[in-house]
Amino acid sequence: MDAFLQIKDVSKRFGGFTALTGVSLDIAQGERFGLIGPNGSGKTTLINCISGMLRNESGSIVFDGEDISRLPAYLRTRRGVARTFQVPRPFASMSVIENLLVPLQYVAHAKESEALDILGRIGLANKAETPTNQLSQVELRKLELARAVAARPRLLISDEAMAGLSGSEVDEVLKILFDLNAAGITVIMIEHIMQAVMRFSQRVVCLDAGRIICEGTPAQIIENSDVQRAYLGA
Ligand SMILES: Nc1ncnc2c1ncn2[C@@H]1O[C@H](COP(=O)(O)OP(=O)(O)OP(=O)(O)O)[C@@H](O)[C@H]1O
Ligand SMILES: [Mg+2]
């Protein structure tokens, strides 16, 4: 059976700098997948290539049987690919619910009931009317997730939704991602908080300097000497 998301030999350069070199990986429908790697290893660049913010110059990205690597970002969103941004960037002058009505317009006639339903699932229902510039850090991260969910994704890519959060806040975000996955959404989690990504993921890939250096179960990744070297810089 073909994978839900097939990344085949993807490379990406920025001028003379090669950010991704021959990255290939398959993700199954319904999977909880972890993507790790030191700062600057290419995780966000890979997500940008999958979501269409960037074009990979070689290789292909096949989602649900269709090569999406030449489609503009909004069409990939319509196919069911949604991502969060590492630095949350809501529409600052709008309330929380208004921020959800915008992505909803892209996939459907924007309905307040659906936006409220999503806020309930993400634990932000009591903040619907709050201007986004009054949100705490964890609430901003939840809004980022809610905005992605408003695009009705089948694949959700979370780019460091937990960075800078306290232990209990990390648990809250982890639960949200588990719940979304249980509702049928395939999830790719990018995270530096190892304890969280290892708890969440069924399979993990580690990038280093734009190449995959290890792929396996969380236990295999933790024990891998290449991964330890990449993180320790030894
Ligand atoms: N638009 C760009 N132009 C030039 N270089 C870029 C661009 N985007 C990323 N890079 C470079 O590509 C490399 C990979 O960056 P990327 O943001 O993908 O890393 P990352 O693994 O997401 O890191 P972090 O964990 O810090 O978020 C880095 O060296 C970065 O400086
Ligand atoms: Mg990044």
What CATH number does residue 194 fall under? 3.40.50.300
* Per-residue pLDDT, 105: 84
For residue 58, what are the domain limits? 5-88+152-232
Q: Is 19 in the pocket of ligand 1 (CB under 6 A)?
A: yes
Ligand 2 (ion): which residues have CB within 5 A?
Answer: 43-44
Q: Would residue 157 count as lying in a domain?
A: yes
- Lookup result for tokens 């097939």: 6
- Structure token pair of residue 145: 């997730």
Q: What is the pLDDT of residues 143-159, one digit of tens each?
A: 999 999 999 999 999 99
- Structure token pair of residue 58: 């070689």
Q: Would residue 146 count as lying in a domain?
A: no
Per the structure, the count of domains in the chain is 1
Distance 207 CA to ligand 1 centre (A): 12
Determine phi and psi for 88, rounding to 5 degrees.
Answer: -55, 135
Record the pTM. 0.95
Residue 234, pLDDT > 60, answer no
Q: Is 40 in the pocket of ligand 1 (CB under 6 A)?
A: yes
Residue nearest to atom 9 of ligand 1 (CA): 45
Q: Would residue 147 count as lying in a domain?
A: no
Q: Would residue 192 count as lying in a domain?
A: yes
Integer Cα distance of 15 and 18 in angstroms: 8
Q: Would residue 137 count as lying in a domain?
A: no
Q: Would residue 212 count as lying in a domain?
A: yes
Integer Cα distance of 48 and 88 in angstroms: 15
Share of the chain above pLDDT 70, in %: 99
Confidence category of residue 82, pLDDT binned at 50, 70, 90: very high
